[in-house]
A and B are shown apart, each in its own frame.
Chain A
Amino acid sequence: MSFSQGWDTGFRVILLYVGVVFVWLGFIEPYFASQSMSVVIMNIVAFVISAAFVVRARSRFIAERQQAEAEVAALMQEDV
């Protein structure tokens, strides 16, 4: 992952995490009896979702790069 992709992904992950927190507090928390329990689960859920996002972004960047490399390799072969 390049610096530029990392920056972008980082920004999105923060927004995603905060978004999960807001949605949780607004819609899901009322169903919990214990508030501290809800907060713990909320953070776990937000963390898992964010981590999943990072992993997916990473694999996509790697795939893109491999594809680009494959194209370059194909072009080189054509030249020869």
Chain B
Amino acid sequence: MSQSLSVSASQEKGVASPTAMSDRWFSILLVVPAMLVILVFALLPLAYALDVSFRFADLTRGRIGDFVGLDNYRTVLHDSAFWSSVWVTLKFTLTAVTLEMVLGIAIAFLIHGATVGKGVIRSLMILPLATSAAVTGLFWRYLYDPQFGLINYFLGLIGLPEPNWLGDYTIALWSVILFDVWQWTPFVALIALAGLQALPKEPFEAAELDGASTFRVLRTLTFPMLKPVLFLVLVLRTIDSVRLYDAVAVLTRGGPGTVTETMTFYLYRTGLKLFRMDYASTMAIFFLYAMLVASLFALRPLLTQFSSRASEG
């Protein structure tokens, strides 16, 4: 590579004239294509959604209609189905993310202490992450099947009750959570493991010489040093959980009743089943607002920290 570089360098010497553009213009020019794509295809649709959220738009009655001011916002804010979908989303997010974090971190410690076979273990852990929730989720319906499903077969073997996983309204949300935990716990574990392996050795050796207890080492050394990585995982998982759609769509379609109807699924149903584009767009704006506020408080400081460390190192 370095050879080809020097050859071409000698050939091109005269070409780079002093009139060549400045660093500034060059750098801006490089960003333009990507920015165009993002501005045109991400911001314009959002502007459109904002516009629709101020209008009457019942697609079953034809085109987008008249300007109605803030009426759609009033309707949605006082819609109990909307709030119950928010509540379902919060319940799901809180439970799934907590379970994934706790189990993931525990598994990371488990694997970190292993002496042989780490490579194989890691490869197997990655598998759920490669699959689409829409495809494997669909197959989980077969596993959950009360009559032919393998899960109830195993539960029956140990003599435990065999619930109707997706049909019982007290359990359905837990079934969706279990699927999410299956798919994403390995993600937490892998990143926590990477964090553990990147820890410097010296402080731990010193602590061992001092005869510090394992618990003390964990509390004063390991967790404080892992905190940035764990916080990043937490934020990424939370963002994804709030946006949950695929698993609900293939596992329960929001049912039974509306007990697993998350915000995204309710929005989809309002907009594309009931064709009330106005209410759906309004919810989309709410959703977007919540995500922007969250990203301001959680993601920005975090990623600044990581990216500044990267540019130093």
Contacts and interface: CB of A to CB of B under 8 A. Distances in A.
A-B complex is real: yes
A28 B300 CA distance: 32
A29 B70 CA distance: 12
Contact of A39 (B70, B77, B78, B293): B70
B73 A25 contact: yes
A31 interface: no
A11 interface: yes
Interface residues of A, number: 11
B77 A25 contact: yes
Interface in A10-57: 11-12, 15, 18-19, 21-22, 25-26, 29, 39
A54 B77 CA distance: 28
Nearest to A27: B77
B296 A12 contact: yes
B182 interface: no
Contact of A25 (B74, B289, B293, B296): B74
Nearest to A30: B78
Interface string B40-75: 000000000000000000000000000001100110
Given A11-B296, A12-B296, A19 B289 contact: yes
Contact of A15 (B73, B74, B78, B289): B289
Interface of A: 11-12, 15, 18-19, 21-22, 25-26, 29, 39
Interface of B: 69-70, 73-74, 77-78, 286, 289, 292-293, 296
14 contacts: A11-B296, A12-B296, A15-B289, A15-B292, A19-B289, A19-B293, A21-B70, A21-B73, A22-B73, A22-B286, A25-B73, A26-B78, A29-B74, A39-B70
